[in-house]
Structure 1
Amino acid sequence: MSTVTATRGLVEIHNVHKAFHGVEVLKGIDLTVQPGEVVALLGPSGSGKSTLLRTINHLERVDAGSVTVDGEFIGYELRHGKLHELREREILQRRTRVGIVFQNFHLFPHLTALENITEAPLALKRLSTDDARELALGLLDRVGLADKADAYPRQLSGGQQQRVAIARALALKPQVLLFDEPTSALDPELVGEVLDVIRDLANLGTTLIIVTHEIGFAREVADRVVFLDQGRIVEQGAPDEVLSRPRHPRTREFLAKVLG
């Protein structure tokens, strides 16, 4: 849970709908995440968690409704009362405010850990080569990989690759950081090292929205747990309330299966 008061990173999701091939995956989602808040999204496979996450930084276009970060649309602008999609270059610029870490790392295999982190700041002309290198080395140190700067992804364990992916997401200094099942592709013994990094981020005031099946971690780190099922928010509240005393039968059923 965040111990720093944040002033940026407000996410407002209003009546969002999204369908794929005629099947509605998100059915009118309303959710506000306050600056610096840590929100864990829980729910069964197919409930819409990852799709919702991807609408926040416009990796998925919404069919209806809106998503804003600090009052600004990521993929659109409002003209004459209607939303118009921005050009790709403008979308990319706005998207830098929202970092995302995927379950399968998505590192560039031909680049070293350091080069994976410096690639975006250099491509966007945010930093000089020297400054980008200094930033990347600092981020690698922050995620416990100061000695892996010159290693290629194939030379790293899954947990190390995911920590590099987190450092890469932090390189553009986003106000919001999204995690899509960040530990699901890892061997069990590697999960802890990634969760430790996310736990540290939760104390720094960055808005975090985490899709996870790690119930114990959600209980410890999240300010709020949001449970989705069949494209709708079924229940939300403080972790102890939702995870220990769920009100909705569907939440109770899900937790009984996950917790055994």
Structure 2
Amino acid sequence: MSAGVEIHNATKSFGDKTVLKGIDLSIAEGTVTVILGPSGSGKSTLLRAINHLERLDEGYVVVGGELIGVRVHRDRLKELTEKQILAQRSRIGFVFQNFNLFPHLTILDNVVEAPISLGMPVAAARERGRALLSKVGLAEKESAYPRQLSGGQQQRVAIARALALEPDLILFDEPTSALDPELVGDVLQVIRTLAGTGTTLVVVTHEMGFAREVADRIVFIDDGRVVEQGTPAEVLDRPRQQRTRDFLSKVL
């Protein structure tokens, strides 16, 4: 399964700083979208708004045809209960830049914790967890603890954990930015493999070669707005906007 995403007028401020300035964006089901932009441009905030980790001040997000985090009540948007929001998030995998693994749990227990908490039988969850660890090349590490793994290995565990609930959509927030350069390749290879499965992926990254190779669509964001979007060839090789050209001249 996979799900498309519709973002309408996404607006978000922190104090007196407006981080998202009315973003409209459509992400087609089963595609890989890479979001590029300078630090502070709003990329991570937009990603976190998709699964309601950040509550928008204005606008809304629809995933797979369903409003996320809110419902319509008397022509206004009303916040869902925390339980309802958690149920929606179970369909949306999220891979953070700093892994966010539970240090007191083994690698396998990190992967199966969410499915078990949502009612999956323990034996079935552990069987699926082992299959996912094998998928990310860590079958032999199931009894290890996060501190015993490299950063790249921990990030691959985080990806396995995101897959454990069989989400319709997976969000990656700069999944390689906290890694030593020699560990980046293994993590990107796992995401490359996922890109071929038909699951909708949205990836915030600075890895330009990866973006060119894997993305169906690239979205360039600056100062809380979508500046440009298109295929990798259109955005990376023939950008229409001067701001995009300026950014690419510094990173390519």
TM above 0.5, yes or no, is: yes
Report the CA distance between 1:70 and its aligned residue. Answer: 1.1
Report the CA distance between 1:252 and its aligned residue. Answer: 0.6
Whole-angstrom CA distance in 2 between matches of 1:247 and 1:124: 47
Report the CA distance between 1:159 and its aligned residue. Answer: 0.5
Q: Does 1:43 align with 2:56?
A: no
Q: CA RMSD in A?
A: 0.8
Match of residue 220 from structure 1: 213
Match of residue 111 from structure 1: 105
Whole-angstrom CA distance in 1 between matches of 2:224 and 2:68: 22
Whole-angstrom CA distance in 2 between matches of 1:183 and 1:94: 26
Report the CA distance between 1:241 and its aligned residue. Answer: 1.0
Identity %: 65
List gaps (5 residues or longer) in structure 2. none
Cα offsets for 1:10-32 (capped at 9, x unmatched)? 10001110000021100010001
Residues 143-222 of structure 1 aligned to structure 2 (within 5 Å): 143-222=136-215
Q: Any idea what SS the aligned residue of 1:251 has?
A: helix
Whole-angstrom CA distance in 1 between matches of 2:103 and 2:89: 23
Match of residue 82 from structure 1: 76
Whole-angstrom CA distance in 2 between matches of 1:104 and 1:200: 21
Q: Does 1:93 align with 2:76?
A: no
Match of residue 18 from structure 1: 12
Report the CA distance between 1:215 and its aligned residue. Answer: 0.4
Whole-angstrom CA distance in 2 between matches of 1:57 and 1:218: 22
Q: Any idea what SS the aligned residue of 2:39 has?
A: coil
Whole-angstrom CA distance in 2 between matches of 1:236 and 1:90: 33
Report the CA distance between 1:80 and its aligned residue. Answer: 2.3
Aligned length: 252
Match of residue 226 from structure 2: 233
Match of residue 21 from structure 2: 27
Whole-angstrom CA distance in 1 between matches of 2:127 and 2:73: 41
Report the CA distance between 1:77 and its aligned residue. Answer: 1.3
Match of residue 3 from structure 1: none
Instruction: Flag as ranges the 4+ runs of structure 1 deviating above 2 A.
Output: none
Whole-angstrom CA distance in 1 between matches of 2:164 and 2:71: 26
Report the CA distance between 1:82 and its aligned residue. Answer: 1.5
2:56 is aligned, of 50, 57, 62, to 62
One-letter code aligned to 1:81: D
Answer yes or no: is the 8 Å Cα contact 2:12–2:21 preserved in 1.
Answer: yes
Whole-angstrom CA distance in 2 between matches of 1:169 and 1:27: 29
Match of residue 242 from structure 1: 235
List gaps (5 residues or longer) in structure 1. 1-5
One-letter code aligned to 1:77: R
Whole-angstrom CA distance in 2 between matches of 1:115 and 1:169: 13
Answer yes or no: is the 8 Å Cα contact 2:60–2:68 preserved in 1.
Answer: no
Report the CA distance between 1:79 and its aligned residue. Answer: 2.0
Whole-angstrom CA distance in 1 between matches of 2:71 and 2:89: 13
Report the CA distance between 1:83 and its aligned residue. Answer: 1.1
Whole-angstrom CA distance in 2 between matches of 1:83 and 1:97: 21
Whole-angstrom CA distance in 1 between matches of 2:72 and 2:88: 15
